[in-house]
Amino acid sequence: MSSSTPVDVLVLAASNGENLKLAERFADEARKLGSNAEVLDLTLLDLPLYRPKAEKNGNPADLARLQERLMAAPHWVICAPEYNGSIPPVFSNAVAWLSVQGDDFRALFNGRPIAMATFSGGGGMELLLSLRIQLTHLGAQVVGRQLLSNFAKPAKDDSIQDVLRRLMQMQPLELGA
């Protein structure tokens, strides 16, 4: 993060292809709506495959930075492709690493407004359903409208703006201590 202005919207890209392009579009549209938005490409993080034995080697350096950026942004958009009818490994791996940090990793998700979008070569709906289940389980406030796009049905700017407006109207919940 190069500026001292807090990020209102952090857009997570769970691939470095079409979903990274979609994430950039979300960040651009958020800026047009007056938000300070950044894209975080999860594929650039050096997070080895999570497994319990890996914890014994200490935490990867990128993990603390990831956790810090997630905590600092009150609103997230997740742009991810569908992998084998579900969530892409890079996202699942990041969540797995985050889940073993501190006493309550759910504080990252609990009450946080999150929007979902996909550019998928396949259907994409299984990803959105799986991601909604996971995020809801972790306590997030998932925006009701989601964006599903592909080469035959590209995302429209007005659809991206609508998802962002819905997201920005939501505030992180203040949950009891």
In a domain, 174, yes or no: no
Can you give the pTM of this predicted structure? 0.93
Cα–Cα distance between 45 and 48 in angstroms, integer? 9
pLDDT at 105 over 80: no
- Give tens-digit pLDDT for 24-60: 999 999 999 999 999 999 999 999 999 888 777 788 9
CA–CA distance, 118 with 15 (Å, rounded to integer) = 10
Tell me, yes or no, whether 5 lies in a domain.
no
Q: Is the pLDDT of residue 132 over 90?
A: yes
Confidence of residue 2 (pLDDT cuts 50, 70, 90): very low
Tokens of 56: 């014994």
Which structural domain range is residue 148 located in?
13-169
> Mean pLDDT across the stretch 116-126?
93
- Is 177 domain-assigned? no
pLDDT value of residue 4 = 65
Q: What is the pLDDT of residue 59?
A: 86
β-pair partners for 12: 40, 78
**Res. 8: pLDDT tops 50:** yes
The CA distance from 77 to 69, in Å, is 13
Domain count, the chain: 1
pLDDT tens string 151-175: 999 999 999 999 999 999 999 998 7
- The verdict on residue 98 lying in a domain is yes
Residue 2 lies in a domain: no
Which among 52, 30, 47, 48 has a CA at the least distance from the CA of 39? 30
Q: Are 97 and 60 in contact (CB under 8 A)?
A: yes
Confidence at residue 84, expressed as pLDDT on a 0 to 100 scale: 92
Residue 62 has pLDDT above 90, yes or no: yes
Question: How sure is the predictor about 176, in pLDDT bands with cuts at 50, 70 and 90?
Answer: low
Q: Does some domain include residue 39? A: yes
Residue 6 lies in a domain: no
In a domain, 126, yes or no: yes
CATH number of the domain residue 42 falls in: 3.40.50.360
Q: What pLDDT does residue 177 have?
A: 52
